[in-house]
Amino acid sequence: MFITRECDYAVRVLRALAGETRLSVNEICDREAITAPFAYKILKKLQKAGIVKGFRGVHGGYTLNKDLGSLTLFEVYYAIDPDMYIIECLNPKNECVRNGQDGSVCYMHKELAEIQDELWRLLKRKPLDQVLGLTD
């Protein structure tokens, strides 16, 4: 599946953090109905991508490290799942057994690649603050 639950929850985490100085994982979980183990996994990936910043200690928690006006759904989804292809044969890490073998062309591969490109274009077209209805 292209847009996983983890990708969906990553956007929810960012929505919870929008406009906040710092939130604990429990506060994020309460606001967005996410379990703590799942939230920690997502926050770790978002932190690695530089989208959020984590703080340790008694007053620890998380805050946005990037403005939601400069992020797109594509960037968030990519931070969570860098191998987000609608079908395995589009991933450059996997070889399409039907495309390019003996000079042959897989027309299905070609069509799905166009669909993949269009989907990525659509995920990149609006900043996340607009998608979340935080700005006009």
Q: Where are the beta strands (DSSP E) in the chain?
A: 52-55, 61-64
Mean pLDDT (whole number) for 98-106: 71
Q: What is the DSSP pairing of strand 61-64 with strand 52-55?
A: antiparallel
| Report field, pTM of the whole predicted structure over 0.75 | yes
Mean pLDDT (whole number) for 56-76: 94
Residue 104 has pLDDT above 80, yes or no: no
**Packing angle of the helix pair 5-17, 73-80 (nearest 10 deg):** 120
Please write the tens of the pLDDT for every residue from 35-52. Answer: 999 999 999 999 999 999
Asked if 79 contacts 66 with a C-beta cutoff of 8 angstroms, the reply is no
Residue 136 has pLDDT above 80, yes or no: no
Using alpha carbons, list the distances in angstroms from residue 95 to 66, 90, 105.
35, 8, 13
DSSP letters, 8-22, are HHHHHHHHHHTT-S-
pLDDT recorded at residue 101: 63
Distance CA 21, CA 97 (A): 50
Both structure tokens of 120: 């990525």
pLDDT recorded at residue 57: 85
Q: Which domains are assigned to the chain?
A: 5-131 (1.10.10.10)
